[in-house]
Amino acid sequence: MSFLETRGLEVSYGGIRAVKGIDLTVKEGELVCLIGANGAGKTTTLKSLCGMLPPSRGEILYEGTSVTGRPSYELVRRGISLVPEGRGIFGRLTLEENLKIGAYARRDHAAIRADMDRLYDLFPRLAERRTQQAGTLSGGEQQMLAIGRALMSRPRLLLLDEPSMGLAPMLVQKIFEIIKRIAEEGMTLLLVEQNARLALEVSHRGYVMESGNIVLADSAQALLRDTKVQECYLGG
């Protein structure tokens, strides 16, 4: 049984049919990436999976149970968390206040504090800036904060939308090291990423999306060797 599965998923908004009947699966403990050009439907897919955009047709299964059309707050409680494109942090709140917002659905206060301490071990730079306003952090620090905030909900499935966007190459490498470490600790991840090479290098499997459709699906290593993927997404 797949941990996450879509069957014929279609998503429309503003009169646009952005996702056109896709099937994808993510097994428990896998890191799976979804790559493709801008406008391919990747972000729309993630928004549908986390309850931000209801499907117009098809089904979303999580742990074998349909969660199609369920609201985001319910899915967070069930273990699905999104790191959104553009980070979506609360700039006027402190870094630590942003992290606490990630745990809003939890009531285990002692465990929340322990999880925050573990996050500071994972992101030492955030520990140094815990009382700083989030809007004054660098782009890389804000991305670390966005990932940390999502982890504070104790997800079993983490959805990541363009985590490298707008970051300097050195920070991109750092963010991907963190993603790889989270995956190695057993988290299930679905990663949407413009940097196809980096995404495939850290993933177990990958899907290639074009114009709302999945056009290729294979192991990450096979996709790295695929001629079409190389020409269209890997710069040669």
The gap from C-alpha 160 to its chain's centroid, in whole angstroms, comes to: 1
- Which of 163, 167, 174 has its CA nearest to residue 199? 163
Contact predicate 159/82, CB 8 Å: yes
Ranges in the chain, pLDDT < 50: none
Report the predicted TM-score, pTM, of the whole model to 2 decimal places. Answer: 0.94
The CATH number fitting domain 4-233, selected from 3.40.50.1820, 3.40.50.300, 3.30.413.10, 3.90.1650.10: 3.40.50.300
pLDDT score for 210? 96
pLDDT tens-digit map of 124-145: 999 999 999 999 999 999 999 9
- Distance from C-alpha of 144 to C-alpha of 130, rounded to nearest angstrom: 12
pLDDT score for 195? 92
pLDDT score for 220? 98
pLDDT score for 105? 83
| Residue spans of beta strands (DSSP E) within the chain | 4-13, 16-26, 31-35, 57-62, 65-66, 80-83, 157-161, 188-192, 205-210, 213-219
pLDDT tens-digit map of 30-70: 999 999 999 999 999 999 999 999 999 999 999 999 999 99
pLDDT score for 68? 97
CA distances from 133 to 101, 102, 124 (A): 14, 16, 17
Instruction: Compute the mean pLDDT over every residue in the chain, rounded to the nearest whole number.
Output: 94
Q: Tell me, what amino acid is at 140? A: G
